Structure 1
Amino acid sequence: MKKIEIKGPIIDDMYGEFVSFLGDSSFVYPAKIKKELDDTNDDVVIEINSRGGYTSSAAEIYTILKQYQGNVEVHVVGEADSAASIIAMAGDNVLMSPMAMMMIHRASTDASGNADDLASGKQALDELDQNIVNAYATKTGKDEQDIFNLMAKTTWMNAKTAVQEGFADGIMEFENDNVKQNYIAKPMLNATMMIPHFKAEKILEIEKLIGESQKRKNQKPKVEETKKDDKTKLVNYKLGLLFGGK
């Protein structure tokens, strides 16, 4: 069974590929998860410890996991907050560590512009909230209005509460380094964090500069240039001996 980790801010592919190019593998983005799934045909364990991030990216990862042909088991080992909780809902089986937490809330965004712009932004957030409600309702079987009420007041759930509310299927137990499941009977967008923002043209510009620098670093001097440099040094040395230089 292949393990895929979701441990860090959830960002989009453009930012994800950029920070990955710079050597930072702590961020999570759809293309990264898709590549890991493309490399296996096995059942997978999605191990989550994330405070969330971009809702649109979480929605794409949710869809990727739901479309995967193998079994998807989610282990919440730390936190599955905000957008990360949406991803958790894609699991065929969702297990919470006894120390894990899950948080759900209404979608949020930054808004600016005139009254019409703000009204449009509110309408978009209302629609996004409904999408999130749908994901939670599909997993939990709860009434949509009940879920919306939980989101509206920003609800935190420990492992036992998450299982009782239907957001998880069981609590992880540990025996000989293997995870077992302890079932508990249950009734029948963007996280608040700092995520880097770069303009697309700046990303391309920096990638180009880094690529050119790496190319120059990897270039080896031509044999002719090396010989020419050695000959020049020899001539200068001999002239120094003749004229008393060093």
Structure 2
Amino acid sequence: MNMKKDFRLEKQTDEEYKLTIYGAIGGWFSENDAKSIRRKLDQVNAEKIYVHINSPGGSAFDGVAICNMLKQHKAEVIVHIDGWAASAASIIAMGANKIIMPSNTMMMIHQASTFEYGNADVFEKTAKDLRKIDSAIASTYEKRFVGTREELEQLLKDETLLTADEAVALGLADEIVDEIEIVEPEDEEEEFEPENIKDDLVAKYSKVNSKEPKEPEQVKQTQNLSRLFLHL
């Protein structure tokens, strides 16, 4: 979470803006939170917003909120993943009309996690709350994912790291472009990809061109979570 932070909204032309989201998302980590981005987006009256992401993730709720802001904005939103979009940052990417990944970039998806302190009752409630949040997160990816809900949930459980080719094959990105230099996160431990069903799913769906619209799953509103710090 110590990678260099860069959070800017810049006017390119009268019709185009560029939003840069580098570094951790929300929570205790940085000013890259939903409230700050809301203030900036409210000032934008443009035809297109280009969002550039290089982030290890952060707060689940900030990620979902920013994703929804991008979806609701009248501008066409085009996300460029400059290095990686991990965890909450990958949720933000799902708010785009189009997701572009250079061939040397990555996306990572997984279940929510948290820190907790208390007795057994507290931990049991926290586990139930996390499962509700996992369901909401899966619904965010499901709008794009070409496979089944069960396959998506398995990828989330496996904490799956995706190349650009794999993300496109699974519907989580739209276009692969030429490589750019990746800005490596600072002080990050090396990520190890677990053995999982990812390769089978990529092979299964790489030839699927059509994306059937799916009915969103109703997710109950999570209550009484103010005591939790949730991060992806």
Match of 2:45 among 41, 48, 52: 41
Q: Which residue of 1 aligns with 2:135?
A: 130
* Percent of aligned positions that are identical: 35
- CA-to-aligned-CA distance 1:111-170 (integer Å, 9 cap, x gap): 221211111100001000001100111122431111110011111011111101111011
Q: Which residue of 2 aligns with 1:87?
A: 92
Alignment RMSD, CA only?
1.8
Task: Verify the 8 A CA contact 1:166 1:186 in the aligned structure 2.
Answer: no
Task: Verify the 8 A CA contact 1:4 1:36 in the aligned structure 2.
Answer: no
TM-score of the pair, normalised by structure 1:
0.65
Task: Verify the 8 A CA contact 1:163 1:186 in the aligned structure 2.
Answer: no
Partner-residue secondary structure (3-state), 2:80: strand
Q: Distance in 1 between matches of 2:169 and 2:114?
A: 30
**1:35 CA drift (Å):** 2.3
Q: Distance in 2 between matches of 1:156 and 1:173?
A: 20
Match of 1:144 among 139, 146, 149: 149
Q: Distance in 1 between matches of 2:106 and 2:55?
A: 10
Partner-residue secondary structure (3-state), 1:125: helix
Partner-residue secondary structure (3-state), 1:62: helix
2:32 counterpart of 1:28: yes
- Unaligned residue ranges in structure 1 (runs of 5+): 17-25, 175-184, 192-246
For these two proteins, the number of residue pairs brought into alignment is 170
Counterpart residue type for residue 31 of structure 1: K
Q: Distance in 2 between matches of 1:85 and 1:108?
A: 15
Q: Distance in 1 between matches of 2:207 and 2:57?
A: 26
Counterpart residue type for residue 102 of structure 2: S
2:49 counterpart of 1:8: no
TM-score of the pair, normalised by structure 2:
0.69
Indicate the structure (1 or 2) with the bigger Cα radius of gyration.
Answer: 1
2:194 counterpart of 1:190: no
- Unaligned residue ranges in structure 2 (runs of 5+): 1-15, 180-205, 211-229
Superposition misfits of 4+ residues, deviation over 2 angstroms: 185-189
Task: Verify the 8 A CA contact 2:54 2:85 in the aligned structure 1.
Answer: yes
Q: Distance in 2 between matches of 1:44 and 1:56?
A: 22
Q: Which residue of 2 aligns with 1:227?
A: none
**1:70 CA drift (Å):** 1.0
Q: Distance in 2 between matches of 1:113 and 1:68?
A: 41
Match of 1:72 among 65, 77, 91: 77
Higher strand share: 2
Q: Distance in 2 between matches of 1:83 and 1:147?
A: 16
Deviates more, 1:68-77 or 1:111-120: 111-120
User: Quick one: higher RCO (CA 8 Å, sep 6+), 1 or 2?
Assistant: 2
